Every structure is written in C-alpha cells, then in structure tokens.
Structure 1
Amino acid sequence: MNAHINLPHCPSPSAYRVAISRATHQVLDEPRVFEDGFALKMLGPDAENNFDPFQHNGVADRSMRAGIVARARLAEDRLHKAIRAGTRQYVLLGAGLDTWALRAAQFGSAVRVFEIDQVAMQSWKAAVFEANGWQKPDELEWIGLDLRNKTVPDALVNGGADLTAPMAISILGVLVYLSEEKVEHLLMSLNRLAPGSTLVFDYLVREEMLPPMDRVMMRATAEAMAAGGEPWLSSFDPRRLKTLLMDAGFEVEQDLGPYELNHIYFCRRRDGLQIAGGGFRHLSAIKQR
C-alpha cells in the first residue's frame, strides 16, 4: 500500500524503501535499535492511517530492515561521539528521507546539517515537509549535487560549509550505486576535509570474497535492484578501501560485517531481528592529516 497518497511517486525507489524500513521498525520491532519519531510521517501525512507495516515484514524484509536501522544507528552513534569532541557540522551524502535534522531541532542542536542529494529527491522531500506542516530547521541546508560534475567538498563550500573545521560525514546506501572509479574519486576528494573529520559508509564486498550463502543473497538482491531501475555498480576488496582511505588521510576505526553488527545491536532479542547477510560491510574512519 502506498502511504504517500497525496504525493507524487518518490524519484528514488531505494530512498523510499529505506524510509519504509525505518517506519516499520518504529511500529513492529521492540526494543527499537533506532528511535525515529518522524519516520512514519516521512512516508506521507496519511501514513498513520494508510501504512500497513506487515506488508513489509517478510524474511528478506526483516533482514534488510535490520541492516538499515543498524547502519543508521552506527552512523549516529559515531556522530554523537564527534559532537562530544567538538564537531559542529554533519554531512549526509545521499540523505534521502533521513530525519536527523528534524530530530536534532527538537533538542536545540547547534550542529549545522548539510543534506546532499539529487535535486529531484530534495524537491520531493520538501513536498513531504510541506504536506506534514513541518518547518525546515534553520540549521538544515539542502545541497543538490551531480557527482559527475562536481566534488563533494566543492558542493559543501558552495552550500556554506567550512572545510577548515571538522565535520562528520555519513554515506549510507550510496556507494553501491556508483561505479568503482567514481567511488575512488569521491573518497580521494575527501582529503580536503579538516583533520578530526569522521566518515561512516557502507559498501558491498566483492562476490568472490563472500561465503556461498551471502553470494546467493547478494545476487538475488542485486537482480531485484536492477529490475527496479537502480543497478548496483560497485563492490570492493576491503583492503583496497583501506588503502584509498589512508591515501586520503583517514585512519579506519571499524570495518564491521553482519556478524559484528548483530552482536552490537541485535544480541539476544526475543523477536530474532537480525541481519541475515548479503555482502555489505560498514566502515568508520577519522581524518588524521
């Protein structure tokens, strides 16, 4: 069932799937790994009456949902650590329907938020805000970016960010949709960030490096994404990513797979919610120079 009955179709199916998973988590899962009081209405103003979470609670849906809320929690856990260390800029590349800026505004956060995404996606998100009667937080800046024409640091400068001060950057559900060449160019461009800046992203591991069951899951999901018009374009050897980050001045802090995330966020749950696998890992790093 489409919850956004008063809105046109979302221009990014993957962003809307993420939003559905976050909303479903708020309704069905207990205890919650990721608290998001805006998640349900981010699907549209009528979602509370028209959204059926049980339509998104199959075996594959549950594993995907666990992965989505775990990566969001990981990114925001790292963000809060950076804020405690003095960071006052947060960048979400491929922000989609993320709600951190709305949640932060409730407790008077002084952190500036830069959401980078396709212009069409940001226009749709602005329509959601308007339909819900939400005011765009003063600290939130929407920055449209086509990675084919401009680097992330250039877009941030044009959007008012200060590259001389540390920032926390989250890149979730993005890199797999870029070619390997573009991913490498993106990561290398981050060498312009100030020391103390932090980075969290997820990436797909090369198929030949995955266990057999993960290969099966990865192929099935990749085929579904391609059929929906959003093919996966890149995968990596974790050692290659570590080298790229070192060349850009970053030191890897964590590189976590499903087993580690399940242990951190889904251990000993009565409902059995966990990530079944599928080939994605989640990495955090800090800029040293």
Structure 2
Amino acid sequence: MEDASPSRTALRVARLRALHQISPEAPLFRDPYAIAILGEGAPGEQQLAQEDTHSQRMRLFVAARARIAEDWLAAAVHRGIRQLVVLGAGLDTFSLRNPYPDLSVFEVDHPATQAWKRRCIADAGLAEPPTTTFVPVNFERQRLPEELASAGLKSTEPSFFIWLGVVPYLTKDAIFSTLSYIATTPGSEVVFDYSEPYENRGAAGRAALAFYAARVASVGEPWISFFVAGELAKSLSGLGFDEIEDIESGDIAARFSRAPRRVPTNSGGHIIRARRSPATAP
C-alpha cells in the first residue's frame, strides 16, 4: 500500500460486509452502518446477483469472522475487559455500533487508510464515537506500543485485540512482534485470522488459495505469511498465551446452525483466539 493511498483490500472487505447486509444470510452478521459508510460506492442487488462461488465464500467468511470476533469480545467484556484495540481497522464499523458504554475503543491503521475512513464517516453524516480514539500508525516508522500508550491505552490493564484480515499480509517477524506485545499484559487476548500453506490444504483449499492470492497480489497487497495450526498454537503458548481456541473455516457453519460438526475439508482458513489468563502472571 502506498503512503498516500488507502488499502484496496480494506475497501473490498468493506464492500463484502455491505453486500452481506442485503444477502439471504444477513442474520449471520448484522451491521447497520456497513452500507452507509460506503456512500455511493456501496454495492447493491445487481452485485449480489452477479456473485460467483468464490465471492460468496469470501463474503460469508468475512461476515463469520466478524461475528465470531464480536461474540468473543462480548465474553471478554463480561469478564471485565474495558479496552478494545482494532488493528488494521479499515472501514470496520464496530466503534459506531459499540453497545458497551464503558468500553474504550482504539482503532489502529495506516495513516492514509484511517484518514480515508474518517472522511467516509463524515460524508455519511455520522459522528465519530466519543469512546473511540483513532491511532494512525505507519509500522515502518512507528512502534505500536508507544503509539497506543500515547493515545491513552492503559498498558497495565488487559485489552482485547481484534486483528482481522491483516496477518496474511505481514511478515512473521512483524506478526510475532505484535503478539509478543499483546502477551505482556495478563488478561489480554487477541482474535485474528490466518491461512494454512498450500501443501496443507485439500484440493478445494488449494484452488481457493490460488484464486484469492492472485487477486490480492494483483492490487499490490500480496499474502506473505501462512501457518500450520499446531505449530502456531505451540508458538502462541511459548509467548505466554495459555487459552487458545482455533476454528477451521470448514467448521464455521456448524457454529451458527444446528447441523452436526462437519468433517474438516482442509480449506485452509482459520479464526483463532489467544488469551493470556491473569493466573499466568509471574
């Protein structure tokens, strides 16, 4: 992504969330601001009618990961979490929908993408939420811990981190640096999605990887990092996370229906939650 340009993949994700609101599967994830924040650029019935299999699967994955992340957030708020950090927020609208009056939200993104989002909010006639702090961070020049601290995040108190649609685009050094930072505060947890490598996927998963990887690479934002589930869990444990929940994309549908758990298809996509419980503090 160029310094002066917002992320094109962030726009695509926002369009998928908006399209989902007019789809038959809309109850999976309701977002009343997804269409409004895109203004005239929001998709409509025509785009839904033209949706192919690949696009439908990605739309449902985008909706499901948001729903799961916010379900996990609700549980964390119930446990007492009062700080949320949304990493690579793009046009995510949780801050506009925040149902928790005492939950402080810190949105972190590249300065160009964040400036674009704030224009979209203003153009939609919406007010920036008073409980939200925007934290522009250029990761090539700034450090996340220092920028969050300057923005008012209390490092001695646990936080919940939502990090969706970002990890595949980062180097493993950058990923584990951020995870190490999150793990320094007992009680903090993180939700992110990741993909398994080509060789670990079934036939359908390999075809999907080839299709989506080519698409994001074509706009200059290629996928860089892939993980094997067991190896990632071991790495997270090594950082201090002792509560890990990993959902393979083939099992997501069963989570929101009465259908029995399906046999894994090795499709390659995962949503994972990792928490360092307070009891692990030295």
Answer yes or no: is the 8 Å Cα contact 1:118–1:145 preserved in 2.
Answer: yes
Specify whether residues 138 and 277 from structure 1 end up closer, same or farther in structure 2 by C-alpha distance, changes over 3 A only: farther
In 2: Cα distance, 1:219 partner to 1:252 partner: 32
Matched AA of 1:223: A
Which of 100, 115, 124 in structure 1 is aligned with 2:107? 115
In 2: Cα distance, 1:50 partner to 1:220 partner: 24
Q: Does 1:265 align with 2:265?
A: no
Aligned to 2:262: none
In 2: Cα distance, 1:48 partner to 1:191 partner: 38
Specify whether residues 267 and 217 from structure 1 end up closer, same or farther in structure 2 by C-alpha distance, changes over 3 A only: farther
Aligned to 1:208: 199
TM-score (norm 1): 0.87
Matched AA of 1:64: M
- Deviation digits for residues 216-268 of structure 1 (CA, Å, limit 9, x no counterpart): 21012101111121111111122232222222211243111112212113566
Partner-residue secondary structure (3-state), 1:32: helix
Which of 118, 134, 141 in structure 1 is aligned with 2:133? 141
- Bigger Cα displacement from structure 2, 151-160 vs 12-21: 151-160
Query: Where do 5+ consecutive residues of structure 2 fail to align?
Result: 260-264
Instruction: Give % identity.
Output: 31
Matched AA of 1:22: R
Cα drift, residue 30 of structure 1 = 3.9
Following superposition of structure 1 onto structure 2, how do residues 179-218 of structure 1 map, counting pairs within 5 Å?
179-192=171-184, 194-218=185-209
In 1: Cα distance, 2:213 partner to 2:9 partner: 12
Which of 50, 61, 70 in structure 1 is aligned with 2:55? 61
TM-score (norm 2): 0.89
Aligned to 2:37: 42
Answer yes or no: is the 8 Å Cα contact 1:245–1:252 preserved in 2.
Answer: no
Aligned to 1:71: 65
- Deviation digits for residues 54-99 of structure 1 (CA, Å, limit 9, x no counterpart): 2662211110001000100111001000111111111100000011
Cα drift, residue 179 of structure 1 = 1.3
Aligned to 2:221: 230
Matched AA of 2:269: F
In 1: Cα distance, 2:122 partner to 2:115 partner: 11
- Bigger Cα displacement from structure 2, 171-180 vs 258-267: 258-267
In 2: Cα distance, 1:102 partner to 1:75 partner: 16
- Deviation digits for residues 16-75 of structure 1 (CA, Å, limit 9, x no counterpart): 11111111111122451111000001112x357977442662211110001000100111
Answer yes or no: is the 8 Å Cα contact 1:91–1:170 preserved in 2.
Answer: yes
Give the total of aligned pairs.
271
Cα drift, residue 190 of structure 1 = 2.0
Aligned to 1:164: 156
Cα drift, residue 133 of structure 1 = 1.4
Answer yes or no: is the 8 Å Cα contact 1:28–1:53 preserved in 2.
Answer: no
Specify whether residues 82 and 53 from structure 1 end up closer, same or farther in structure 2 by C-alpha distance, changes over 3 A only: same
Q: CA RMSD in A?
A: 2.3
In 2: Cα distance, 1:139 partner to 1:80 partner: 17
Aligned to 1:271: none
Specify whether residues 245 and 25 from structure 1 end up closer, same or farther in structure 2 by C-alpha distance, changes over 3 A only: same
- Bigger Cα displacement from structure 2, 246-255 vs 52-61: 52-61
